[in-house]
Amino acid sequence: MEDNSTKGLKRDRKRRQRISRIRNGIIGIFGIWLVASAYLCITLTLRVNSLEEKLDYLLDNFTVSGQLEEESKKNPSNVDESAYFDLENSTESQMWEETYAIPPAVNQQENLAKEGDTHKVYLTFDDGPSSNTEQILDILKQYNLKATFFVIGKEDEKSRALYKRIVEEGHTLGMHSYSHKYSVLYETEDTFESDFSRIQNYLFEVTGQECLFYRFPGGSSNHVSNTEMTKFIRYLNSQGITYFDWNVSSGDATSQAYTPKELVSNVMDDVVKYKTSVVLMHDAETKHTTVEALAPMIESLQGMGAEILPIDENTTVVQHIAASSVGEQ
Ligand SMILES: [Zn+2]
């Protein structure tokens, strides 16, 4: 009897051990499954977030393109092409792709920063005024900083108020042609000169201030001008105007849909190299990411001890073709 009951107890113990092993196995597998799922969930969420950011940007652009097309069908004369030029005109898009490679500025070698040098950074905004100008100005005001706006000719009341606000708040107002239409602007010396006078006179009439700085649409090194750029450079020299290209590009004009974070790192990667950095950005209706990138960009620049300044007559010029290289005639 005793033997039988001992055997029974042993059997019971073995069964309990087996059950507990199976239970532990099940718990183990469940645990691993739980951890793996959580890991997968987190990875996927991060991926989806980054894709959503990109999609938002693409949808914005797509919508604007579509709207523009519809508007131009309804009323062709009503469309402000300049605000959309890089989306609408494939030649211009291609050109921006090329310029994103950034031709070396003529003083690149002397401009390389050595350890201990202060980095001077000039934030420049092309193509405004636009529906983003106010926000850009508000952000600059919040940080008590001045920048440079290379503007084009817009006659509406809102734009006129924006030119004035740029000047009143101490920023540098530069010219970026009146029309921003490459085919007309760069057609002949005459068309360039009359466009130049038009923007110069217009901005003087609106702000009471004479503009001394110019940025060529597409830069002095652009490949779309039908006329040699040296002719226009010679003309600007004769007018006492200094033109600025750029040696740092945020990349906000390329067909790449950069996120605000990427725009900031595009700028930061290059600013560290130079004593003087002229940063190319755009003030245009579709460039929401530029606005979003501005505050974090300013903070990163200040974090590295950079001095953020508006262009003035003491600024080291950054030019792709040297103004001094063209001679007098
Ligand atoms: Zn432009």
CA angle 146, 151, 157 (to 5 degrees): 100
Please state, in angstroms and rounded to a whole number, the distance separating the CA atoms of residues 316 and 310. 12
pLDDT surpasses 70 at 152: yes
Please tell me the predicted confidence (pLDDT) of residue 28: 82
What pLDDT is stored for residue 186 in this prediction? 96
- Alpha-carbon distances, residue 95 vs 98, 103, 219, 291 (angstroms): 5, 12, 10, 23
Residue 242 sits at φ, ψ, to 5 deg, of -100, 130
Q: Any idea which of 72-86, 210-224, 292-306 has the lowest mean pLDDT?
A: 72-86
- Distance (Å) from CA 128 to ligand 1 centroid: 9
Burial (CB count <10 Å: 0-12, 13-18, 19+), residue 11:
exposed
Averaged pLDDT, 248-268 = 93
Average pLDDT (11-27) is 85
pTM exceeds 0.85 for this model: no
- The CA distance from 10 to 284, in Å, is 83
Quote the pLDDT of residue 18: 86
Given a cut of 60, is residue 323 above it in pLDDT? yes
Nearest to 194 by CA among 183, 180, 178, 205: 178
Output the CA 214–ligand 1 centroid distance in Å: 11
Spell out the residues 6+ positions from residue 77 whose beta carbon is closer than 8 angstroms to its own: none
**Interval between CA 181 and ligand 1 midpoint (Å):** 9
Distance between Cα 300 and ligand 1 center (Å): 26
Q: How far is the CA of 104 from the centre of ligand 1 (A)?
A: 19
Which helix (DSSP H) or strand (DSSP E) does residue 123 occupy?
A: strand 120-126
Q: Mean pLDDT over residues 129-151, rounded?
A: 98
Boundaries of every domain in the chain:
1-79, 91-325
Per the listing, tokens 């390389």 go with: 112
pLDDT digits 0-9 by tens, 23-36: 888 888 888 888 88
State the distance from the centre of ligand 1 to the C-alpha of 38, rounded, in angstroms.
47
- CA 284 to centroid of ligand 1, rounded, Å: 9
pLDDT of 29 reads: 84
Give the distance (Å) from ligand 1 centre to CA of residue 180. 7
Q: What is the pLDDT of residue 66?
A: 38
Residue 142: Cβ within 10 Å count: 11
For all residues of the chain together, what is the average pLDDT? 85
CA of 27 to the centre of ligand 1 (A): 64
202 Cα–ligand 1 center, Å: 18
Distance 298 CA to ligand 1 centre (A): 22
Q: How do residues 93-108 score in pLDDT, each as one tens digit? A: 445 544 556 778 888 8
Q: What does DSSP say about strands 307-308 and 276-282: parallel, antiparallel, or unpaired?
A: unpaired
User: What whole-number distance in Å separates Cα of residue 211 and Cα of residue 152?
Assistant: 12
- DSSP class per residue in 203-258: HHHHHS----EE--TT-TT-S--SS-HHHHHHHHHHTT-EE---SEE--TTSSS--
Determine the distance separating the centroid of ligand 1 and the alpha carbon of 280, expressed in angstroms. Answer: 10
pLDDT at position 184 = 93
Separation CA 207–CA 211 (nearest Å)? 10
pLDDT of amino acid 47: 78
What are the two backbone dihedrals, phi and then psi, of residue 102, each rounded to the nearest 5 degrees? Answer: 55, 100
List the CATH code of the domain at 91-325: 3.20.20.370
Q: How far, in Å, is the centroid of ligand 1 from the Cα of 21?
A: 72
* Mean local confidence (pLDDT), 82-90: 39
Ligand 1 centroid to 127 CA: how many Å? Answer: 5
